[in-house]
Amino acid sequence: MLRFILIRLAVAVPTLLGMSVVAFAIVAIAPGDPVMMELRALGVVPKPEDIAALRAEYGLDQPFLLRYLDWLGRAVQLDLGTSIATGRSVVTEIAMRLPATLSLAVSALIGAVLVSVVFGVCALSRNRGVAACMRGLTILLVSIPSFWLALLFIYLFVLTIGWGRLVSDGTWSDLILPALTLGLGAGASLGRVVYERIRAELSEDHIRLAIAKGLAPRRILISHIAPRIVGPLATAWANTFGALLGGVVIVESIFGWPGLGQLILQAIAQRDFPVIQAYLVFMGLIFFTMSILADIVVFFTDPQLRRTLSDD
Amino acid sequence: MKHVSFFARTTAATLLCLPLAFSAALAENALTIAVKQDRYSVDPEKFTFTTRRPAAQIVETAVKPDENFLPAPLLFQDWDYADGTYTVTLREGVTFSDGTPLNADSTIAALKLYDTGKSDFLQIDQDSFEKLGEYQISFASETGSALVIENMTHRGTSLFGPSEDRAANPVGTGPYLLESYDPNQQITVVRNEAYWGDAPYVDQLTFRFIADDNARLLALQNGEIDIIGEVTPQMLLSMPQDGSVVLHESRPIRYVAMMTNINGEAPFDIMQDRQVREALAWAIDRETIASVLYAGRGEPAKGILPGWMFNLGDTHTDGFGYDTAKAADLLEAAGWTLGSDGIREKDGRKLTLRLVAAYPNVSTVKPMPEMLEQMFADVGVDIDLVEVDDSGVYGSTYLDTGEADLYLEFASNNNTDPTYLLNNLFTTTTPWGGYKFFAPGAHVDALLSDGRKAQTRDEVIEKVRAAHRAIVQDDLVAIPILMVPNFALSRPGVDVPMSEYADWIDYGNVTMVNQ
């Protein structure tokens, strides 16, 4: 197990390095000069030497490679620079927003897992009407863009019924609508995975034997099918969690949820390079961490994999 | 006994309800204002960035702009400029929120802070400060400018008192004190009971940072905020018309104009011909555009600076009407004849112009680009319309490279220095890179340079008028389209004292009427 994790971590180093190069390059070649944008917005009449001084302060006068190496050297010491827009350290900016985003993404994931189980299992119902309905609902929810669903929920639950509010301050009750918005679509997608995995398992010999023995469907599902599909589902959950972290950008903005999504939108608008670079790398890191966690779950739930790794 | 019991119960109920009554009364004097983003930056090295809207309630500038954008007394009681030296008398009886008196020493210290920032645009000679008396100082401009006092009307020059941590404990002379700051969420200020001036009407102001335009509008409709301080044109288009949202407007200040690339290289060299520029100016139906955009509150423009600003007046420019026949004649005279496909040609070259819309983004002028495309098509001009929704792309991809013929801009002179806008946008020495493509040349450079060096305000304004006329009339490098007010939205029953300058909207004196 330890060797397995160490190998995965060793592979992570070049992956993360590559990711950081890409993140840095994307930002470097993006059009827009944060210094000029800020100065024009402020109505300041700068002297050329003022502009040069600001550019030097942000390192924008250096060639790409030097800037990257300097940034990488500081990044490994957890110094991701200073936000051009706010003057706060980027680590502080991320730390201030991360809890809100994580709570939203985790809530949405929990909701998505519950929805997926309900959708997946119901889609296998012997009642053809229920099964067709669940499949139809799944397709509908997968197809609806999250921003549209968000606006629909706002209209229904905030403006019409008055159950929620738009000006969120990060309290738990404000989490419900954005989590629901994110979770429903993700849950529907996961529901397809649950449905497919259960269907695949149902054709396996040991399940046929269990059915022939007359075991109750619920017991077959919980005792025989669930343990075998947890591994593949964990991988899907990890990917979904990553997708949810990406998806929060729009939903956070619409619901005013004070998380990383709002931070990156503002950073892009203001060409706050240090924040954008850090965000991209940080998101990659989270994807990578989730992937390792999923691998560990698979390791523990798949005896065949465990045997193979032990033999190696 | 029954009566006593009833009396006791009534008294007890009244006493119990008193706090509720007081809280309701207090709530009447609390205001929540939604703004787009958190500009309350904390870096002391860049503290000119910290003094925008919310923080502007805590710190004050030396002078404030009057109704014509001329400097009026605030912390400076009066001032004089002679032989390159400013002599200033300070207002007496003013103290910073920490009790430090505003006097010659504290004012010089506050002004000197600006030299430590990297965006120092007061440009005061740091060795020139002199204390002439307890409430009198003098200083000189390091560039010989007579406009230093004008520049002090910018919120970015607010005077800070001494503080170890300017972000956590901003010390100013303003009508409010910082109550709480939740980065990227909200900032709350409460009334400064020791304020030297007239006490503001509102006890507490909370600025909520809500980035999404729709969310700001919906929050207002839902009664979660009272005022929207940053209104985009899209919000005006989607604003409900049932009276649930009230529109407040200033006098027109922002311009929509089409900048013309007169210094570009082929194929972006057609606009070098003034006749083509004038033809486009006559081909625009400004009345129709004004009726469609900005809730119908825009006005057809004769220039890019409003006449009321700096007492410029509006007689120094003539403007252009809507006359397609005249536009067609001008194009014919320039050698552009109508082709069989309805597009004009000259020497086998089609009259196709690339129009980039817009600064700061295309959303601010929609659907004007399409309307202009149609109007120009009517006189045989083909438009290659490029819509960009990002000022970075606008700047780096099209403006800095000069790879377009026309650039649609929605902006304003957000500075009380009369030369500011014209100098930055229309001189060959512009600090804003790509704007050199719009520079008429040495004569406008000279006018604005002379204006910046002029030693009397009248002389400055005379030069600005001449440069403005050259830009929007004689050389016609900027084709004026509309002048647009500054807007705010509120719930019904709220009266917002508007200002053309968003940083100068006096939220503390918003009046509220129970509905």
Helix-then-strand count for chain A, H and E: 14, 0
The confidence score (pLDDT) of residue A177 equals: 92
Percent of chain A with pLDDT over 70: 96
Cross-chain Cβ contact A32/B154 below 8 Å = no
Task: Determine the Cα–Cα distance for residues B365 and B256; give it in Å rounded to an integer.
Answer: 8
For residues A230-257, give the mean pLDDT: 86
DSSP B95: B
DSSP state of B268: S
pLDDT at B39 over 60: yes
Interface of A with B in 146-175 (CB under 8 A): 151, 154, 158-159, 165-167, 169-170
The pLDDT score that the predictor gives to residue B49 is: 42
Give CA–CA dist A81/A225, Å, rounded: 49
Closest residue to A87, CB basis, from B43, B186, B397: B43
Residue B396 to residue A32, Cβ atoms within 8 A: yes
Q: Which of A166, A252, A254 to mutate to test the interface with B (most CBs of B within 10 A)?
A: A166
> For residue B395, which residues of chain A lie inside 8 Å, CB to CB?
31-33, 36-37
A290 φ/ψ sector (left φ>0, alpha ψ -120 to 50, else beta):
alpha
- List the 61-120 stretch of A: residues with Cβ below 8 A of B: 82, 85-88, 96-97
C-beta neighbour count of B45 within 10 angstroms: 13
In the predicted structure, residue B414 carries a pLDDT above the cut 50: yes
pLDDT of amino acid B48: 44
| Chain A residues closer than 8 Å to B182 by CB | 169
Which chain A positions have a beta carbon within 8 Å of B431's beta carbon? 45-48, 51
Q: Which of B212, B222, B225 sits opposite A254 (nearest CB)?
A: B212
At a CB cut-off of 8 Å and minimum separation 6, what does A132 contact? none
pLDDT per residue as tens digits for the range A19-39 = 889 888 888 887 777 777 767
Q: How far is A267 from chain B (nearest CA, A)?
A: 11
Contact B395 A32 (CB under 8 A): yes
Over residues A72-99, the pLDDT tens digits come to: 998 888 888 888 777 788 998 899 899 9
Does the beta-carbon distance from B121 to A57 stay under 8 Å? no
CA distance A50 to chain B (A): 6
The answer to whether A36 contacts chain B (CB < 8 Å) is yes
Query: CA dist B371 to B59, B260, B328, Å?
Result: 44, 18, 18
Q: What pLDDT is stored for residue B278 in this prediction? A: 98
Q: What span, in angstroms and rounded, lies between the C-alpha atoms of A200 and B281?
A: 70
Exposure of B278 in the CB half-sphere (CA atoms within 13 A): 15
Chain A stretch 240-259, residues whose beta carbon is closer than 8 A to a beta carbon of chain B = 253-256, 258
Question: pLDDT tens-digit profile of B301-334?
Answer: 999 999 999 889 989 999 999 999 999 999 999 9
- Number of inter-chain CB pairs under 8 A, A vs B: 131
SS3 B277: helix
- Bond prior to B488 in cis (omega within 30° of 0): no
Q: Do A87 and B184 touch (CB under 8 A)?
A: no
Cα–Cα distance, A209 to A62 (Å, whole number): 69
% of chain B at pLDDT higher than 90: 62
Q: Over the stretch A137-160, which tens digit does the pLDDT of each residue have?
A: 888 888 888 889 998 998 899 888
Give the integer Cα–Cα distance in Å for B381 and B300: 22
Tell me if chain B has a CB within 8 Å of the CB of A49.
no
Q: Which burial class, exposed, middle or buried, applies to A226 when counting CB atoms under 10 A from its CB (0-12, 13-18, 19+)?
A: middle
Strand pairing category for B227-228 and B204-209: unpaired
Residue B314: is it exposed, middle or buried by C-beta count within 10 angstroms (0-12/13-18/19+)? middle
A43/B155 Cα distance (integer angstroms): 10
Distance CA A158, CA B254 (A): 35
Distance CA A114, CA B397 (A): 47
Neighbouring C-beta atoms of residue B165, cutoff 10 Å: 9
Rg (CA), chain A: 24
- The pLDDT, as a whole number, for residue A95 is 92
Q: Which of A228-232, A269-273, B38-42, B379-383 is predicted least confidently?
A: B38-42
Could you tell me which of B513, B244, B431, B247 has the C-alpha nearest to residue A33? B431
Q: Is the per-residue pLDDT at B277 higher than 90?
A: yes
Q: How confident is the model at residue B450 (pLDDT cuts 50, 70, 90)?
A: very high
What contacts A129, CB < 8 A, 6 or more positions away? Answer: none
- Tell me if B386 sits within 8 A of A28, measured CB to CB: no
Q: Which residues in A lie closer than 8 A to residue B208 (C-beta atoms)?
A: 167
The nearest alpha carbon in chain A to B414 belongs to A43
Judged by CB atoms closer than 8 Å, whether chains meet at B211 and A266 is answered as yes
Q: Which of the two residues, A243 and B481, has the higher pLDDT score? A: B481
When pLDDT is cut at 50, 70 and 90, the band that residue B121 belongs to is: low
| Mean of all residue pLDDT scores within chain A | 84
Neighbours of B341 (CB within 10 A): 10
What number is the average pLDDT over the span B434-460? 93
pLDDT band at B117 (very low <50, low <70, confident <90, very high): low
Calculate mean pLDDT across residues B83-110.
Answer: 95
Identify the residue with better confidence: A254 or B496: B496
- Calculate how close chain B gets to A293, using CA atoms only, in Å: 32
- Contact of A26 with chain B, judged by CB distance below 8 Å, is answered with no
Task: Assess contact for A169 and B185: CB atoms under 8 A.
Answer: yes
The alpha carbons of chain B give a radius of gyration, in whole angstroms, of: 26
Q: What is the tens place of the pLDDT at every residue in B10-27?
A: 455 444 444 444 443 344
Return the residue of A nearest to B222 by Cα. A159
Of B121, B183, B432, Cβ closest to residue A40: B432
Give the start-to-end residue ranges of the domains of chain A: 97-311
Residue A44 contacts B where some CB pair is shorter than 8 Å: yes
- Asked if the Cβ–Cβ distance from B185 to A169 is below 8 Å, we say yes
CATH architecture, domain defined by A97-311: Orthogonal Bundle (1.10)
CB-based contacts of B105-109 (< 8 A; 24+ apart in sequence): B105/B131, B106/B161, B106/B162, B107/B62, B107/B75, B107/B137, B107/B159, B108/B137, B109/B162
Task: Choose between B276 and B115: higher pLDDT.
Answer: B276
- Could you report how far apart the first and last alpha carbons of chain B are, in Å? 42
Nearest to B433 by CA among B395, B484, B478, B488: B395
Give backbone dihedrals phi and psi of B468, rounded to 5 degrees, phi first: -60, -45
Residues B189-236: tens digit of each pLDDT: 999 999 999 999 999 999 998 888 888 998 999 899 999 988 888 888
pLDDT given for residue A16 in this prediction: 84
A46 touching chain B per CB within 8 A: yes
Q: How much is the ipTM here?
A: 0.75
Nearest residue, CB atoms, A39 vs list B119, B123, B185:
B119
Nearest-angstrom CA–CA distance, A251 and A159: 17
The minimal CB distance from A96 to the residues B121, B151, B183 is found for B183
Query: Is residue A59 within 8 angstroms of chain B, CB to CB?
Result: no
Å between A81 CA and nearest CA of chain B: 13
A235 inside 8 A of chain B by CB: no
Rounded to 10°, the helix A176-202/A90-122 angle is 50
Q: Do A31 and B395 make contact, defined as CB atoms within 8 angstroms?
A: yes
pLDDT band at B8 (very low <50, low <70, confident <90, very high): low
CB contact under 8 A, B212 and A256: yes
Percent of residues, chain A, with pLDDT higher than 90: 14
Q: Search chain A and give the residue with CA nearest B115.
A: A50
Residue B276 buriedness (CB in 10 A; 0-12 / 13-18 / 19+): buried
For residue B104, give both structure tokens.
């010659």
In the block, residue with structure tokens 């990044």: A75
- What is the rounded distance in angstroms from the CA atom of residue A198 to the CA atom of residue A194? 6
Strand pairing partners for B89?
Answer: B78, B136
- The residue-averaged pLDDT of A2-7 equals 79
HSE at residue B489, side-chain half, CA atoms within 13 A, is 30
Closest residue to B208, CB basis, from A53, A154, A167? A167
A107, A180 contact by CB (below 8 A): no
Average model confidence (pLDDT) for chain B? 88
